[in-house]
Structure 1
Amino acid sequence: MNRLIDKLAILLLCMMSLAMSDSFIEPVIVVITAVTASAAAQLLTGKAEASIIIVACSLACGVFPLFLCMIPLMLYDALWEKKWWLVLPAAAVLINIGDMKILQIAMTAAAIAVTVIIYLRVSGLEQTVTKLTLLRDEIAGKNRQLGEQNLRLAQAQDNEIHLATLKERNRIAREIHDNVGHMLTRSLLQSGALIVINKDEQLREPLESLKATLDSAMTSIRESVHDLHDDSIDLKKVIEDSIKTVDSRFTVTLDCDVSEYMAGNVKLCMIGVIKEGLSNAVKHSAGDKISIIVREHPAFYQLMLEDNGSCSEIKESGIGLKNMHDRVEALKGRISFTPSAEGFKIFVSIPKQ
């Protein structure tokens, strides 16, 4: 749009020079021809055809001296082509310069100067806009990188808090088990001994009530300790730690997508199967890749462990496979072992309770 406005201003200067001509028809033809050529040159910017059009108009000055009045317009297009010398053929008009009025020549020279000034102003403005656009894009990129970095830092902080919480739960569970649990166990034994040696029938019922209370408290504490311990198991973290122990010849990929509300016994089952599966792969697989996928669905949990080592049969006598089968069966789940030329696959499905 800026280029079009500048051309209109230059065209007005050119027409002021043409208005000094004695003829009427010839200036109209020159204006129409020059405007058409300029529009075509702008449309074909960057192509060879644009340069040809500008050179042709410049050469026309040698035949029609009046065309020199429109050279500022063609010069503007040549400057945008970065080929200002395309208008040099217009110098051929010097042969017939006497056919033009001195004022026309002066107006044309002034228009050429104004054209150069306008071009320098607009091109400088466009360069500034380009630099500002690049700067804006660079800032936007930096802001995006900063946002991603802040997100990673926030996630890392959340993970640290989560791990600290799990460690604290483990510590509390251990303290309760080691201290309160042992004291309650001792109290239960003492109350049981008192019931045995007691000879007073009036004390029998209170002692049995005391033992029942202590027994109930022990059961409640045991359940609480188990709940704390189960919650403190970070399934993904334990799997990742197990992967770190795998032989370096294997490339292990993990895709774990489960909620934090998975029951502790299910977590322990998954961990046991994965550890046994990784151990078997290291011992027996000739492959170099292991894939572990853990998924949570609305009604069940799913585990798939697969390596790319060729396997034609399964030795059912292996205690490792039996242990995995027993773990899953205890939770009313299903486990399958699939050997093939492409590898060995373990598939587990455990229903939600």
Structure 2
Amino acid sequence: MYGISDKIILIFCSAAYYLFYSDSYLAIIPILIVIALSSLFTYYDNKKFQLFACLSFAAICLFMPSYIVFLPALLYDLCLTHYQLIVISLPILLFINNKLINLETMFFVIGITILVYLIKYKTAKLIKLQKEYNDLRDNSVEISLQLEAKNKDLLLNQDAQINLATLNERNRISKEIHDNIGHLLSRSIIQIGALLIVAKDEVITKGLTSLKESLSEGMDQVRNSIHKMYDESIDLYSQLDMIVKEFTACQISFDYDIKTPPALPVKHGLIAIVKESLANVIRHSNASKVVILLREHPAIYQLIIQDNGSLMDDQKKHLTAAIESKTFGTGMGLNNIVERVKGFDGNINFYFDNGFKIFITIPK
């Protein structure tokens, strides 16, 4: 865009000078030639072609000396390139070899050539600054997006840490209640039972019985509260991550992508399935790598457990028969996994083309 406006200015200045001294109806011809070539240079940015066109126009100037006023405008695209020596020498050579060019035209061409260099330098500088500005703006936007993403991740991690700390605190409180209050209530109930055995007075016996029933009811409520607090304190990711970290039989990778925690029975089921699957890897597989993927979809939870172990032909036949008959017996613990998945109305599939793969989907 900047180059086009520069060319318009140069062609206008050259045309104004040319038309001022020309009264021929053919004066429009060099103007049209220069406009056409300049437009072509803008569209087809090939320096060799531009050099050839400028040399051809310079050859025309040998026969039409007045056309030389348009030569600097054509040389605009060659300025600040490795052909710029030609830009300087070409008008000078024309002046030397053509005695018909007057002194005024010579000074005009020299002045417009200097103007071409200045305009070209200014435009190149402006384009460079524009590019640097665009790069800086793009980098700023990219950095801003990265910071926004990191802030979002930090907030999510912070929420996860707060939730985990809350669950751990619930677990601690439930254990303290169980160890302290639960034991005190149990001991009190036992002591009251002993007193009931030795008590003779009916009034005392009735009071102790009522007290024992109240303590037993309180004990049951404490036990239920403890179990509820403990169950709520189970964090699925922490439990699975701990299982993964304790697995040392081979390399293991764990990918967890769940935003909405599943129900408590599903948590227990998933934990048990992962434990059983890793136990099968230790007992029955020669795998060097295990991959666990747990993902959340709009309507289901998806669990994929895969290893790269090799299966013998007999094992493949046995597994194929078991899958077709849906009877796994007690071998490899697969029956327990299948029963757990069925209990959640889920689906389970087994693949053993490349290692052994368990693909499980459980509805929300």
**Partner Cα distance (1:289, 1:119) in 2:** 63
- Contact kept, 8 Å, 1:69 with 1:104, in 2: the verdict is yes
**Partner Cα distance (2:21, 2:133) in 1:** 46
Equivalent residue number for residue 54 of structure 1: 54
Alpha-carbon distance, 1:256 to partner: 4.7
TM norm structure 1: 0.84
SS of 2:112's equivalent?
A: helix
Of 234-243 and 246-255, deviating more is 246-255
Equivalent residue number for residue 130 of structure 2: 129
Q: Deviations over 1:17-47 (max 9, x none)?
A: 3134354234322222122211111221235
Equivalent residue number for residue 254 of structure 1: 255
Aligned runs of 1:110-129 on 2, under 5 Å? 110-129=111-130
Q: Deviations over 1:78-100 (max 9, x none)?
A: 22766324544444533564323
| Cα distance change of structure 1 residues 249 and 297 upon mapping to structure 2, 3 Å threshold | closer
| Cα distance change of structure 1 residues 155 and 255 upon mapping to structure 2, 3 Å threshold | closer
Is 1:272 the equivalent of 2:284?
Answer: no
| Cα distance change of structure 1 residues 341 and 134 upon mapping to structure 2, 3 Å threshold | closer
Cα RMSD (Å) of the superposition? 3.3
TM norm structure 2: 0.81
Letter in 2 for 1:18: Y
Q: How many residues align?
A: 350
Equivalent residue number for residue 145 of structure 2: 144
Equivalent residue number for residue 235 of structure 2: 234
| Cα distance change of structure 1 residues 90 and 302 upon mapping to structure 2, 3 Å threshold | closer
Letter in 2 for 1:279: A
Alpha-carbon distance, 1:174 to partner: 0.7
Equivalent residue number for residue 164 of structure 1: 165
Aligned runs of 1:153-302 on 2, under 5 Å? 153-247=154-248, 249-257=250-258, 259-260=260-261, 262-263=263-264, 265-294=265-294
**Partner Cα distance (2:177, 2:6) in 1:** 86
Of 173-182 and 308-317, deviating more is 308-317
SS of 2:99's equivalent?
A: helix
Equivalent residue number for residue 11 of structure 2: 11
- Contact kept, 8 Å, 2:290 with 2:308, in 1: the verdict is yes
**Partner Cα distance (1:297, 1:215) in 2:** 45
Alpha-carbon distance, 1:68 to partner: 0.8
Is 1:67 the equivalent of 2:67?
Answer: yes
**Partner Cα distance (1:50, 1:83) in 2:** 10
Structure 1 vs Structure 2: percent identity of aligned residues?
Answer: 29
Equivalent residue number for residue 110 of structure 2: 109
**Partner Cα distance (1:26, 1:329) in 2:** 93
Equivalent residue number for residue 344 of structure 1: 356
SS of 2:263's equivalent?
A: coil
SS of 2:79's equivalent?
A: helix
Q: Deviations over 1:123-168 (max 9, x none)?
A: 1111121222222223333333333333343343333323322221
**Partner Cα distance (2:38, 2:299) in 1:** 73
Alpha-carbon distance, 1:195 to partner: 3.6
**Partner Cα distance (2:300, 2:77) in 1:** 72
Letter in 2 for 1:79: C
Alpha-carbon distance, 1:205 to partner: 4.2
Q: Which runs of 5+ in 2 are unaligned?
A: 320-327
Of 232-241 and 335-344, deviating more is 335-344
| Cα distance change of structure 1 residues 343 and 96 upon mapping to structure 2, 3 Å threshold | closer
**Partner Cα distance (2:344, 2:337) in 1:** 13
**Partner Cα distance (2:284, 2:159) in 1:** 39
Alpha-carbon distance, 1:245 to partner: 2.9
Of 244-253 and 102-111, deviating more is 244-253
Of 75-84 and 207-216, deviating more is 75-84
Is 1:76 the equivalent of 2:70?
Answer: no
Alpha-carbon distance, 1:295 to partner: 5.1
Alpha-carbon distance, 1:337 to partner: 7.9
